[in-house]
Amino acid sequence: MYSISQLFIFPIKSLGGFEVSSAYITDRGLQFDRRWMLVDECNVFLSQRNCPQMCLFQTAIQNNQLVVYSKNNIQDQLLLDLHPVSFEFCKVKVWEDECEAIFVSDKADQWFSEKLAKACRLVFMPDSEKRQVDSLYAHKNELTSFSDGYPILMIGQASLDDLNSRLKQPLSWDRFRPNIVFTGGLPYDEDTMEHIRINSMRFYGVKLCSRCIITSIDQNTAVKGKEPNQTLAAYRTINNNIYFGQNMLLQTPGVVEVGNKIEIINKTEPFIFQKNG
């Protein structure tokens, strides 16, 4: 039996997220997840790939505000409206997608530029922007926010446990940034979850999550290492891409909670990974 054990929301792309006991899932993922994003002077998205120190900033939602603070100094905070209102619209780039966004505030831009020692601006995706997932994997023109490509990432606890059994130093979930973690079953069962149901909501596993350098960045120090990618590459590689986790689409909005059961409607055949070690 599978059940949800943890839920995570990452309001600002590539910054630290937080755990919740329940979450409302909108038409583009968990509410508030990756609705904000930092962009450079050309309005191209920033992430830990090119700015690893972004991992040193944590987010939280308190008193109907989005709070951003330094992990090294919790008193050093930026408070943001959960529903920004601005008439300064812009076009921003997320990989190959061009999206409409709004600039949040001069105060936010100055705060982040000073902390990161890099000129940048904070943007928000308004409800009017309908960024679609890759048409090759979409079922019904599903949407996503400023995520890399899909609205929900799901991983089984057994998969992390299996990976950690192969590592000298076990890792926590902050390296992998899942939205839904579940218990039950065998390692990597999420690979084959093609169609599942949680409460009355239907979810579809459409593409394994290809991992990048971010998983090898220590989220407390911003130092890059070799693990876990070096270990994952030995047994989770297809065509030179490392995979860990399942990207999910959803059919209808609703609420999910820790403890909810996951019903398997349909599974795909297991993937064949290359043996590199």
Whether residue 99 is contained in a domain is answered as yes
Q: What is the pLDDT of residue 86?
A: 83
Let me know: does 35 contact 157? Beta carbons within 8 Å. Answer: no
The number of C-alpha atoms within 13 Å of 90 and in the hemisphere containing its C-beta is 21
pTM of the model: 0.96
110 and 196, same domain (yes or no) = no
What tens-digit pLDDT sequence spans the chain (277 residues)? 999 999 999 999 999 999 999 999 999 999 999 999 999 999 999 999 999 999 999 999 999 999 999 999 989 999 999 999 888 999 999 999 999 999 999 999 999 999 999 999 999 999 999 999 999 999 999 999 999 999 999 999 999 999 999 999 999 999 999 999 999 999 999 999 999 999 999 999 999 999 999 999 999 999 999 999 999 999 999 999 999 999 999 989 999 999 999 999 999 999 999 876 5
Whether residue 20 is contained in a domain is answered as no
Decide which of 97, 124, 151 is a domain's last residue.
124
Q: What is the pLDDT of residue 276?
A: 66
Task: Give the integer Cα–Cα distance in Å for 38 and 251.
Answer: 29
Task: Give the integer Cα–Cα distance in Å for 112 and 146.
Answer: 18
Q: What is the pLDDT of residue 31?
A: 98
81 and 166, same domain (yes or no) = no
DSSP 42-80: TSBB--TTT-GGGGGEEEEEETTEEEEEETTEEEEEEEE
Whether residue 151 is contained in a domain is answered as yes
Q: What is the pLDDT of residue 87?
A: 82
Whether residue 12 is contained in a domain is answered as no
Task: Spell out where 105-192 has E strands.
Answer: 121-124, 152-156, 180-183
249 and 178, same domain (yes or no) = yes
Decide which of 103, 124, 145 is a domain's last residue.
124
Indicate the number of domains in the chain: 2
97: domain range? 30-124
45 and 108, same domain (yes or no) = yes
